[in-house]
Structure 1
Amino acid sequence: MEQFTFNKISIETDIPYELLLLADETIEAIDRYIFNSDIYLLNDGSGDIAVMALHQNNDTELEVKNIAVIEDYRNKGIGSILMNKAKEIARENGYKTLTVGTSDTGLQQIRFYEKNGFIKTGIRKNFFIENYPAPIYENGLQMQDMILLTHHLSE
């Protein structure tokens, strides 16, 4: 098993756009949240293999704004390692819920979040139509609504 290190990086360092763009369509979209988020990198000893951006929505809710794993490490449990770290960070800082939003066309992502203890709690209608300059397609379908999922943290 590889030896992983998980580190919070300073926003003054280089923002890992290459990794962040694996989960978000444009740098402009990333820039809307990244400067008010905490960024974490997972490194396998030879380089960064995953990224996660967490944003405080309010005193009780922490949101996963971005989570991405490089292709060679997908489907190997790395995303779940990151989700467990996000839950740990949220609990340690007194948050009650951890939330995430993903596309209505992202069936694999929705299954991933549900597998990690999240439940569907809402929809942001037309989010991808109103917030991106051009249509975005995933799984052959145009992204339209954002599906919101929540994990309630136990005490």
Structure 2
Amino acid sequence: MSITVITNTEEYPWELLLLADPERGKVAVYLETSTVYVYREGPKVVGVIVIQRQSATQYEVMNLAVAEESQGRGIGRQLLTYGIGQLQDELVPVKVVIKTGDISGPALSLYQHLGFTVKEVIENYFIEHYSEPIYEAGQLLKHQVILEKII
């Protein structure tokens, strides 16, 4: 197991990135200005986290995904903890923002367990901002939940 940053010469783990955000064009845009960390088991990438600096005092987790066959093993927690740890080298407190769906139960539980608090719910976000409906566990994803943590 290792967590490493992806350099410009490496291939992004698109299969994983699209698990968390199914519109490739949107993902491609934020990848250009973000730091991408991957979780490897041997040569295989089984997890990814994408963090983007929004301002001098704010970062956003743009994408966090774990391969379906590797979920439930704490990999998402390790990636999020590692990514946030990289930001804690800052000299001033910073805000970390995560946006997710309101029916993303395991993700919401993880974020809240790690100290993130819900700041806002945007109704019908996924219906209005995505070209195709998104389903999680057979349910239509509608609302976006915005969580924050000061580190």
**Fold-level match, TM-score > 0.5?**
yes
1:48-127 equivalences under 5 Å are: 48-94=45-91, 96-127=94-125
SS in 2 for 1:22: helix
1:12 Cα deviation after fit = 4.2
So what's the TM-score if we normalise by structure 2?
0.89
- Who is 2:8 aligned against? 11
> What is the distance in 2 between the residues matched to 1:136 and 1:92?
36
Q: C-alpha root-mean-square deviation of aligned residues, in Å?
A: 1.7
> What is the distance in 1 between the residues matched to 2:74 and 2:148?
20
Report percent identity of matched pairs. 27
> What is the distance in 2 between the residues matched to 1:81 and 1:74?
12
| One-letter amino acid of the counterpart of residue 106, structure 2 | Q
Aligned residue pair count = 150
Structure 2 residues without counterparts, runs of 5 or longer: none
Match of 1:129 among 115, 127, 130: 127
Runs of 4+ in 1 over 6 A off after TM superposition: none
So what's the TM-score if we normalise by structure 1?
0.87
SS in 1 for 2:88: helix
| One-letter amino acid of the counterpart of residue 13, structure 2 | P
